[in-house]
Structure 1
Amino acid sequence: MQKTTLALMMGASLLFAMSACQPPADLPETSKTKSTSTQTVEQPNAEPLIEAKTPKALATALIKLSEKKLTDKLVCTKLSEAMTAIDNKSKIEDIHAIQRQLNACLPMTDNVEILQWLKEYQALYGRFLGSNDDMDDADFYEVVATIEQGQGLSVKQLKTLSPRGRYLIELVANNADVSLLYLGEGIFTFHHNLKAMAALFIPYLPNEQAKFIQRMAKDNQDIFWNDAAVAVSFSEVIARANFWEDYIRRYPKSYFIQDAKDLFSLYRYVLFYGSDNTRWTDDAVHEFLDPKYTQAMTQLSKRSNSTLAQDAQSFLDFIALSDRERKKKYPVPSKDDKGNKRDDWAMPRYRLMAALPLPSPWEDNNNRDCLSSVICVSYNVESSL
């Protein structure tokens, strides 16, 4: 009788330990995006414990379950090594194996290791997809055009590519989590599904981290820059600036807070100054190029407790000034910092910067890339989150 009681207590204890490894019932709302991923978490099977009718059967089931947990733990200790081994000679099946290991290991580890695995998992895709060396000739463009037209690739077309390029193109054609992303100026790169990547990790991250990578996955699935022009709409720039302002206010101690501030600075600057090849107003900065821009900026100015709202109002006030009022309120030196005479085009922008002084995101020596994947990385450096 005592042995039976002891065995049942052991079984109950193990079941409690197993349940403690599972994600909490009240997962953040962002975890709902996991339904978009084809990856599922395989949980330990406790059925043999429940069905055990004798102390011996229960002991046998406990031993088998313990062996499986020990095996899973061993696999998890080798996970970083397995991800680092993925390179431009690996196959998509190798990544699928990594995904299965992550599904088993993520519920059993702490936040520090999860973030490390996220960084390594993102980096492995960069190595797997390789360089763009053979993606800028006529043969490659013909292959791309064939895929975009929904037609099958011929053997002749595939033979024009390098062996690795051929393999990746076949993955693209078969929708195997590899796609072609146009970067502008005739340049393509191989890309992958960022939302699926985020969905794999989101259920095991605190809300502030989950919100960060979920938004990054959404925004960075496509490009933001195209030949020094903004590749998204004016309303999308506003939406992104709003999101990061709200994120900074809501999660001031976030693990990703500095990257969030950098993103806010970028979108805020682009919203009011555009870029070298993107303008939201005429050259004189007297009116918006599209009436919808005026409406959107006016609406933005009405946000409560918002730095962006104050900026928007300052911008609208500046547009409303006549040239005479601007000259009086914001005098411009006849020469720039290099001693060159300022041209007429530069005058309105100089005055706008005086009326709405915003820090340029390109003048703080920031070498972080936050526009390519689900976390920011230092340019050409994989070792920094």
Structure 2
Amino acid sequence: MVIEQKPKQAVAEQAVDLKSICRGIEQEMREINQQRTTFALEQINQDLKVCLPLMDFPDQQHLLELSAQMYQNFLKVERTAQQQTAFDQYAFDLAQHPTIQQSHFEQFALRDQYLLKHKGQAYVDLYDAGEGQLVYRRNPQYLARIFAPYLPDAERIFIENLAEQNMQRPIRDGGLTIDAQEVVRRALFWEDYVKNYPDSSYIRDARYLDQVYRMFLFKGTLNTPVSDSYEAEYAIQPSVWYEIEKLAKLEQSRLADQARKFRSFVQMSPQERRNRIPVSLTAQEQNNERANTLALKQLSHYLDLPLNGLSPTRDCFSDAVCMPYQNN
């Protein structure tokens, strides 16, 4: 049997075509704006799948960062005051009734009408950002599917896991949206990631996520505190205590060490805490009406947890990478 060979000229032309596509892809990404269609995005994303395997890591990173700006430009909507009111009402109605069929569609800005009709295409997502705000975003799975397969292991694993985690944002309106078991699962993942990939280009963000999930586990949040007093086992959320008891049995884990110290902290009397963990409250902290302000500060020192909450400048819960908050 004779196998027909592709002519050498055809192979050469195909290679030239690929080089041409890949040379022009950055400019195409920069030209995406709020007038373009999801079809244009999908074409670029297909070209990225072709070009990314041919690039070195710095060039891949450059396009990954550029893709964030590309989607921000695509999802930008300029609204009149009346159109903003109509969209805000839609957000409110959707929060109350998730299956609502939108009425008064014609009151929306034309770009809103287009994006709502095409959400789910080209990784366009409508996202509950809390406090009654609906915003468009790039679905976290975008980077996991378009970029991650072609990146080094450290970056691929970071993106794939953060994408999966942020399909369910962990915090909204000051409260946790995930249960204690999931908090522990994520906390253990980020502890292992920091340990296994110290040279990752995302190591700074991984360390931040490692700290945040420890904080969620042992302190909770403003609207979902782990405890009001930390003065006995029964004063701890039962689901949290159950997970901490399980954690305390693990070996070779900093999180497990903290779980064991947490149990010791809960067993201390207030006087013993004052003796063993000498901390003082600032004037601002003394004016805080929360009853557990002192206990939280003592716990933070005892377990070496961050005193402050979430970063006011960096968002690690909306996408598959951490990004600066946008000024809207």
Q: What TM-score do the two structures reach when normalised by structure 1?
A: 0.74
1:55 paired residue number: none
Give how far 1:169 is off.
Answer: 1.0
**Corresponding letter in the other structure for 1:230:** L
**Corresponding letter in the other structure for 1:171:** H
Tell me if structure 2 keeps the 8 A contact 1:269–1:361.
Answer: no
1:312 aligns with 2:251: no
Give how far 1:285 is off.
Answer: 4.4
Tell me if structure 2 keeps the 8 A contact 1:224–1:232.
Answer: yes
Give how far 1:210 is off.
Answer: 0.8
3-state SS of paired residue (2:147): helix
Equivalent position to 2:152, from 185, 206, 216: 206
- Pairs within 5 Å for 1:189-268: 189-268=135-214
Tell me if structure 2 keeps the 8 A contact 1:326–1:351.
Answer: yes
Within 1, Cα distance between the matches of 2:230 and 2:97?
44
**Corresponding letter in the other structure for 1:369:** D
1:92 paired residue number: 38
Within 2, Cα distance between the matches of 1:301 and 1:123?
44
Of 316-325 and 74-83, deviating more is: 316-325
Within 1, Cα distance between the matches of 2:96 and 2:118?
14
User: Unaligned regions of 5+ residues in structure 2, if any?
Assistant: none
**Corresponding letter in the other structure for 1:286:** A
1:126 paired residue number: 72
Give how far 1:261 is off.
Answer: 1.1
Tell me if structure 1 keeps the 8 A contact 2:231–2:269.
Answer: no
3-state SS of paired residue (1:78): helix
Within 1, Cα distance between the matches of 2:158 and 2:133?
28
Within 1, Cα distance between the matches of 2:155 and 2:243?
29
Inter-CA distance 197–346: structure 2 relative to 1 (3 Å threshold) = closer
Within 2, Cα distance between the matches of 1:306 and 1:254?
20
Q: Deviations over 1:251-279 (max 9, x none)?
A: 11112112211211222222222222220
Tell me if structure 1 keeps the 8 A contact 2:314–2:323.
Answer: yes
Within 2, Cα distance between the matches of 1:92 and 1:280?
44
Q: Deviations over 1:155-175 (max 9, x none)?
A: xx2201110011111113x76
Within 2, Cα distance between the matches of 1:204 and 1:283?
49
Q: Deviations over 1:41-70 (max 9, x none)?
A: xxxxxxxx9504xxxxx6xx1112211210
2:304 paired residue number: 357
Instruction: Give the percent of matched residue pairs that are identical in Structure 1 and Structure 2.
Output: 28
Within 2, Cα distance between the matches of 1:117 and 1:99?
11
User: Unaligned regions of 5+ residues in structure 1, if any?
Assistant: 1-48, 53-57
Inter-CA distance 167–88: structure 2 relative to 1 (3 Å threshold) = same
3-state SS of paired residue (2:127): strand
2:244 paired residue number: 297
Inter-CA distance 280–131: structure 2 relative to 1 (3 Å threshold) = farther
Within 1, Cα distance between the matches of 2:92 and 2:226?
35
**Corresponding letter in the other structure for 1:352:** L
Within 1, Cα distance between the matches of 2:108 and 2:38?
19
**Corresponding letter in the other structure for 1:158:** F
Within 2, Cα distance between the matches of 1:104 and 1:319?
56
1:51 paired residue number: 4
Q: Deviations over 1:133-171 (max 9, x none)?
A: 5555465248747994275x56xx220111001111111
1:273 paired residue number: 219
Inter-CA distance 274–88: structure 2 relative to 1 (3 Å threshold) = same
Tell me if structure 2 keeps the 8 A contact 1:88–1:127.
Answer: yes
**Corresponding letter in the other structure for 2:260:** Q
Q: Deviations over 1:295-350 (max 9, x none)?
A: 101111222211111111111111112334334433554x6356957875433223
Give how far 1:377 is off.
Answer: 2.5
- Pairs within 5 Å for 1:99-118: 99-118=45-64
Within 2, Cα distance between the matches of 1:270 and 1:339?
20
Q: What TM-score do the two structures reach when normalised by structure 2?
A: 0.85
3-state SS of paired residue (1:51): coil
Within 1, Cα distance between the matches of 2:298 and 2:285?
18
RMSD: 3.0
Equivalent position to 1:62, from 8, 30, 53: 8
Give how far 1:194 is off.
Answer: 2.0
Give how far 1:86 is off.
Answer: 1.2
